[in-house]
Amino acid sequence: MSRNKNFNKFSGTSVVVGDKPINVALRKFKQKVEEAGILEEVKARMFFEKPTAVRKRKRAAAVARWKKKLREQQLPKSLY
């Protein structure tokens, strides 16, 4: 039994090559890795980030999304 709860999350990322060219298999593998979010997870775990910093970063991203949404809903300057 593994100690890490998320270990099985990424264990299904594999590609059966068979008689396909290796380039096709490599492309499909990269696509599966991208969809699973493995690289983002690894980059996030490279360095410890304090919980307050995580909350601050997520809140700033939410505020930026909200401001972007408001900008998209505004009329262009030439119309008013």
Residues making up the chain, counted from first to last = 80
Q: Is the CB of residue 13 less than 8 Å from the CB of residue 31?
A: no
pLDDT value for 27: 92
Residue 50, in any domain of the structure? yes
Q: Which residue range is the domain that position 40 belongs to?
A: 15-79
Confidence tier at 1 by pLDDT (50, 70, 90): very low
Question: Could you report the per-residue pLDDT of 9-67, keeping only the tens digit for each?
Answer: 556 677 888 888 889 999 999 999 998 988 989 998 999 999 999 999 999 999 999 99
CA 41 vs CA 10, 30, 73: distances in Å = 10, 15, 33
State how far the Cα of 1 lies from the Cα of 4, in Å rounded to an integer: 9
Question: How many structural domains is the chain composed of?
Answer: 1
The answer to whether residue 33 is domain-embedded is yes
